Amino acid sequence: MLYTVAMNLNTLWTPLILVNFKAYTQAMGKKALELANMAESVSAETDVCIGLAPQYTDIQQLAQKSSLPIFAQHVDPIWPGSFTGHILPQAVKEAGVVGTLINHSERRLKLAEIDATVKMTRDMQLASVVCTNNAKVSASAAALRPDFIAIEPPELIGTGTPVSQAKPEIIIKTETLVKQINPEVIILCGAGITKGDDVTAALRLGTKGVLVASGIVKAKEPKKVLLDFAQAATTV
Amino acid sequence: MLYTVAMNLNTLWTPLILVNFKAYTQAMGKKALELANMAESVSAETDVCIGLAPQYTDIQQLAQKSSLPIFAQHVDPIWPGSFTGHILPQAVKEAGVVGTLINHSERRLKLAEIDATVKMTRDMQLASVVCTNNAKVSASAAALRPDFIAIEPPELIGTGTPVSQAKPEIIIKTETLVKQINPEVIILCGAGITKGDDVTAALRLGTKGVLVASGIVKAKEPKKVLLDFAQAATTV
Amino acid sequence: MLYTVAMNLNTLWTPLILVNFKAYTQAMGKKALELANMAESVSAETDVCIGLAPQYTDIQQLAQKSSLPIFAQHVDPIWPGSFTGHILPQAVKEAGVVGTLINHSERRLKLAEIDATVKMTRDMQLASVVCTNNAKVSASAAALRPDFIAIEPPELIGTGTPVSQAKPEIIIKTETLVKQINPEVIILCGAGITKGDDVTAALRLGTKGVLVASGIVKAKEPKKVLLDFAQAATTV
Amino acid sequence: MLYTVAMNLNTLWTPLILVNFKAYTQAMGKKALELANMAESVSAETDVCIGLAPQYTDIQQLAQKSSLPIFAQHVDPIWPGSFTGHILPQAVKEAGVVGTLINHSERRLKLAEIDATVKMTRDMQLASVVCTNNAKVSASAAALRPDFIAIEPPELIGTGTPVSQAKPEIIIKTETLVKQINPEVIILCGAGITKGDDVTAALRLGTKGVLVASGIVKAKEPKKVLLDFAQAATTV
């Protein structure tokens, strides 16, 4: 299904598999490109949208060499100026991203910064994916009107215990609270997603996709797992 | 008017004049006590509730010597343990506070920290006053279910330009958005409040009180200004 | 032995047993006072200086009711003003402290903040105890000219494995590097100190005292352990 | 003059003009490359080393298309792993940097983080440039054994008032204190440097180069100013 935001951003649609490369060397430099190539062929084969969130230093090459939508892992809510060592939204946009993660559990932000970042990304036509840790915080984030919310219980991140199967009630409660506040927000879920079945479960619960990191990046055969995810996404 | 939270906390009611002592020496040590005494006599005379948020080192003496409700200016979302230099909610409660400011513009918190702090204060029977910088952030905070929200446009703090008269639209929008999400939240406003008229304007806009700092603490005659505030509050 | 700083601050001398109350409820409110009373009687009996670093809310009562030197656990490098929720050095001084911990491993500061804090405490006649995590960082801190450096390998804090016995080489290297840069700095050590023998070992290595927390505060019989510490300190 | 660090890093020598691109759009994307090309031709013409510190997203293209030494503006002291939105030293190294700024005034770090970052860069054969705000902090940084220290009084940054001419005493005191602690550290200075004369003054005071940002990046004719800088550097 195509969403308004997707239409504006033209390469982005749902169901969405959003792969966070974190600071993993398995998805850095040349290997970032290899993973992007695998993802592109899986996306082409299955017609499932796969987004990629590489390290900053790899954004430009991935944006140039891949047709998949590229995301930043974080941006600072700053305008051009004297901000040595910060992440300028305009810089990642010029490098080729279509959106950014905001408030990932490994890069939490102050409430006013999330508000400012969502506002900036909207003004710049970048998709905003605000990460949250529970249903109430998801509701809180929804009031800021981001494009996406990705609910990820921190205690499950990187564990292989899938939120969609182990804690479905968190996802259901998130959807209920978020929809009351802002029915247009697209909900993803993440944490512990490693198999197609976890993706199926996530979509059956009403989410529009998954945010995944080690489940793909650290898999022995990333392409095989990506294909498993994508096929699961097409059969719900 | 008495609110549920007020009944639980027994010394707290609305309209509420909440005085933030910040790190001002004009309201520190003995002078904190003097200001508390002035406030207590004004409160007794007018039957308007005046809350006091002194520095941590003054909480205990004020709680012992004043019958007014005392607030912390901030607490860290931590349980007892190895947290050198942090503000333990149980410590300020034992010292005598009935509530705490959370996320003041001079002490902004991460979204997940605000959620954790509100949850902790609720469990501990402390009133939570979440400070916010605009209407959308207020809506976001409301989803976390604090007792109070204090909307304070940062650009007006300490200026003497009263939010309630200079930017009524921010307060009105805050009330609209907050009430949609959580009609039980009590809304205060702050920034630039220095006269009784500013308090009157704030209450006429629908708020239940004001958060004030330099307008009282740095006034030449704090008691006179407090009385002006309190009388204004009784005549709306 | 009496140091210059001690003479200025009049209640402070070495060997020093500095007890950090952290955010432990075992040393909070009334229990803070009880522990202070125990420490005072041990100090009187043994003529060993025992410093106490309680939570902010307990500083005032301890300073009023105990003759032992009281420390803050942390201060912010700020002057009086609009700093809601921060720790004003002047406030803790007025409440009765003679000094402060700076840069504890649970409250690390930026380098420029440590410099500013040491400078402020010196101007205000407060003793500065900069905590460090290794020998090189201790040398770095020494260049800022604090009164004390407390070397505490973070991996041993709270473990009961005493730095003075398990890692004497860290203390020796710290002393060598620090003395080259600033021979006037008084060196303490901490982490895992739970017995008199650990104190003896620390002093034999050349330190002038210990920084201790759970070893005293969480002991079943704090007074007995304090006495054990103090007697060890007098017999080196 | 060639230094040990320079020999190891093979493209780096002194006098060094290190240009910080900050988050300026005037030196972003294509314009980053244009500025790099100007700098390369000035460096070739004058045989003065010019280092470039672009935004993260531009590191890879600059490293590929320029023979000048490229620096990161900041790195986080982290190893590969779950650090979404952070700057992995190995990532910027793989992208082509020979070194990094550390603790710039716009990106201050905790003392223990500076120590960890300097240690990591040394292990990874990256040059470390620790920025400092005064002489005492420079001495403190010197004890951590970085390759370079760049002293920049924050109050002069971006002002056009050159530290080397307006506050020579800060540079002289920095050199005295730093050399006592670690005579091998190479000292740069920065803040307000906009003309060749400022560079001359900096080198005459004993520094081995300058750290510059707006003076070059925001100049109407950056190449002309760079040439002015480089020629000044060759004639001291």
> Which residue from A minimizes the CA distance to D218?
A81
Question: Which pLDDT tens digit goes with each residue over A53-106?
Answer: 999 999 999 999 999 999 999 999 999 999 999 999 999 999 999 999 999 999
pLDDT of residue A233: 95
Which residues of D carry out catalysis? Answer: 104, 152
CB proximity list for C123: less than 8 A, separation 6 or greater = none
The CATH code for residues B15-68+87-234 is: 3.20.20.70
Of A164 and C149, the structure prediction assigns the larger pLDDT to C149
pLDDT of residue D3: 46
Q: Contact B141/A140, CB-based, under 8 Å?
A: yes
Q: What percent of chain C has pLDDT over 70?
A: 96
pLDDT band for B3, please (50, 70, 90 cuts). very low
Q: Does pLDDT of B81 surpass 90?
A: yes
Peptide bond into A80 cis (omega under 30): no
Q: Does pLDDT of D4 surpass 80?
A: no
Average pLDDT over residues B36-49: 97
Question: Which pLDDT tens digit goes with each residue over A15-68?
Answer: 999 999 999 999 999 999 999 999 999 999 999 999 999 999 999 999 999 999
Assembly ipTM: 0.94
Q: Does pLDDT of C6 surpass 50?
A: no
Q: Which long-range contacts (CB under 8 A, 24 or more apart) does C168-172 make?
A: C168/C201, C168/C205, C170/C134, C170/C135, C171/C202, C171/C205, C171/C206, C171/C207, C172/C205, C172/C206
Q: What is the pTM of this model?
A: 0.95
Q: Contact A144/B140, CB-based, under 8 Å?
A: yes
Using a CB–CB cutoff of 8 Å, tell me whether B114 touches chain A: yes
Using a CB–CB cutoff of 8 Å, tell me whether D177 touches chain C: yes
pLDDT band for B4, please (50, 70, 90 cuts). very low
The number of helix segments (H) and strand segments (E) in chain D equals 11, 8
Which of A150-164, B118-132, B168-182 has the lowest average pLDDT?
A: A150-164
Instruction: Work out the burial of residue B84: count CB atoms within 10 Å of its CB; fewer than 13 is exposed, 13-18 middle, 19 or more buried.
Output: buried
- Domains of chain C, by residue range, sit at 88-236
Q: Does pLDDT of B223 surpass 90?
A: yes
Class of the CATH domain delimited by C88-236: alpha beta
> Which residue from B minimizes the CA distance to C131?
B84
Which residues sit opposite B129 in a β-bridge? B101, B148
Q: Nearest-CA distance from D178 to chain C in Å?
A: 10
Average pLDDT over residues A162-174: 93
Q: Which of residues 47-86 of D touch A (CB under 8 A)?
A: 53, 55-61, 72-74, 78, 80-86
Q: Does pLDDT of D7 surpass 90?
A: no
pLDDT band for D9, please (50, 70, 90 cuts). low
> Which residue from A minimizes the CA distance to B138?
A143
Question: Which DSSP symbol is given to D103?
Answer: S
Q: Contact C57/B29, CB-based, under 8 Å?
A: no
pLDDT of residue D66: 95
Q: Does pLDDT of D2 surpass 60?
A: no
Average pLDDT over residues B179-196: 95
CB atoms inside a 10 Å sphere around CB B15: 22
C186 alpha carbon, distance to own chain's centre: 11
pLDDT band for A236, please (50, 70, 90 cuts). confident
pLDDT of residue A5: 44
Q: Does pLDDT of B37 surpass 80?
A: yes
Of D157 and A118, the structure prediction assigns the larger pLDDT to A118
CA angle B216, B220, B221 (to 5 degrees): 70
Q: Contact C22/B84, CB-based, under 8 Å?
A: yes
DSSP string, A92-141: HHHHT-SEEEES-TTS--BHHHHHHHHHHHHHTT-EEEEEESSHHHHHHH
Q: In 3-state terms, chain D is what percent helix, strand and coil (to 5)? A: 45, 15, 35
Q: Does pLDDT of B201 surpass 80?
A: yes
Straight-line distance from the first to the last Cα atom of chain A, in angstroms, rounded to the nearest whole number: 13
Which of A9-18, B187-196, D174-183 has the lowest average pLDDT?
A: A9-18
CB atoms inside a 10 Å sphere around CB C235: 11
Question: Which DSSP symbol is given to A13?
Answer: -
Q: In 3-state terms, chain A is what percent helix, strand and coil (to 5)? A: 45, 15, 35
Q: Contact C137/D145, CB-based, under 8 Å?
A: no
Find chain B residues with C-beta within 8 A of C104's C-beta. Answer: 84-85
Average pLDDT over residues C209-236: 95
CB of B166 closer than 8 Å to CB of B157: no
Question: Which pLDDT tens digit goes with each residue over A190-211?
Answer: 999 999 999 999 999 999 999 9
Q: Does pLDDT of D77 surpass 90?
A: yes
Q: Does pLDDT of B51 surpass 50?
A: yes
Q: Which subunits count as partners of chain C given 3+ CB pairs below 8 Å?
A: B, D
Which of B211-215, C156-160, C222-226, D212-216 has the lowest average pLDDT?
A: C156-160
Q: What percent of chain C has pLDDT over 90?
A: 88
pLDDT band for A8, please (50, 70, 90 cuts). very low
Question: Which pLDDT tens digit goes with each residue over D117-133?
Answer: 999 999 999 999 999 99
Average pLDDT over residues D177-182: 96
Candidates B110, B142, B181; nearest CB to A108: B110
Q: Does pLDDT of D10 surpass 60?
A: yes
Average pLDDT over residues D38-65: 97
The CATH code for residues A14-61+88-234 is: 3.20.20.70
Average pLDDT over residues D183-193: 94
Region of residue D117 (left: phi > 0; alpha: psi -120 to 50; beta: else) = alpha
Read off the tokens for D55: 């935004």
Find chain D residues with C-beta within 8 A of A211's C-beta. Answer: none
Average pLDDT over residues B20-46: 97
Average pLDDT over residues D135-161: 94
pLDDT band for A2, please (50, 70, 90 cuts). very low
Q: To the nearest whole number, what is the mean pLDDT of chain B?
A: 94
Candidates A23, A61, A73; nearest CB to D80: A23
pLDDT band for D32, please (50, 70, 90 cuts). very high
pLDDT of residue B12: 86
Q: Does pLDDT of B191 surpass 60?
A: yes
Q: What is the crossing angle of helices C222-234 and C30-46, to 10°?
A: 30
Dihedral sign, Cα of residue C140, residue C144, residue C145, residue C151: negative
Q: Nearest-CA distance from B72 to chain C in Å?
A: 8
Which residues of A carry out catalysis? Answer: 104, 152
pLDDT of residue C138: 98
Where is C224: in which H helix or E strand?
Answer: helix C222-234
Average pLDDT over residues B86-102: 97
Average pLDDT over residues C91-108: 97
> Which residue from A minimizes the CA distance to D109?
A85
The three state secondary structure string of chain B is CCCHHHHHHCCCCCCEEEEECCECHHHCCHHHHHHHHHHHHHHHHHCCEEEEECCHHHHHHHHHHCCCCEEECCCCCCCCECCCCCCCHHHHHHHCCCEEEECCCCCCCEHHHHHHHHHHHHHCCCEEEEEECCHHHHHHHHCCCCCEEEECCHHHCCCCCCHHHHCHHHHHHHHHHHHHHCCCCEEEEECCCCCHHHHHHHHHCCCCEEEECHHHHCCCCHHHHHHHHHHHHHCC
D and C touch with 3+ CB pairs <8 Å, answer: yes
CB proximity list for C155: less than 8 A, separation 6 or greater = none
Q: CATH classification of D4-70+90-234, choosing from 3.40.50.10190, 2.60.40.10, 3.20.20.70, 3.80.10.10?
A: 3.20.20.70
